[in-house]
Amino acid sequence: ALVRELGKTIVMVTHDPHAASYADNVLFLAVGQIIDETYRHHTDYQEWLAGEFIALQQKYDAQVAELEALKAAKAASDAASKG
């Protein structure tokens, strides 16, 4: 690839699994933290990567829901102790 020949790196930020599938290395971020990383090693990389995006989004959504439930429980507990 031309990028390797020139010794350069391209950083692309996207939510599009198809666009990300052109990369040799993909980092998955959530709330400013790297939560997963993959390298091009699957035969059907685009389909696999799309599945990874979906799985990680579901995992992230579940963690956010759990955090929101904990916040709500704490708020209810605080309110009950004040009342």
Query: Is the pLDDT assigned to residue 42 strictly greater than 70?
Result: no
Query: Is the pLDDT assigned to residue 69 strictly greater than 90?
Result: yes
Distances (CA, A) of 37 to 28, 42, 50, 72: 6, 14, 14, 32
CA distance 43 to 77: 51
Query: pLDDT-derived band of residue 22, with 50, 70 and 90 as boundaries?
Result: confident
Token pair recorded at residue 17: 């699994």
* Confidence (pTM): 0.48
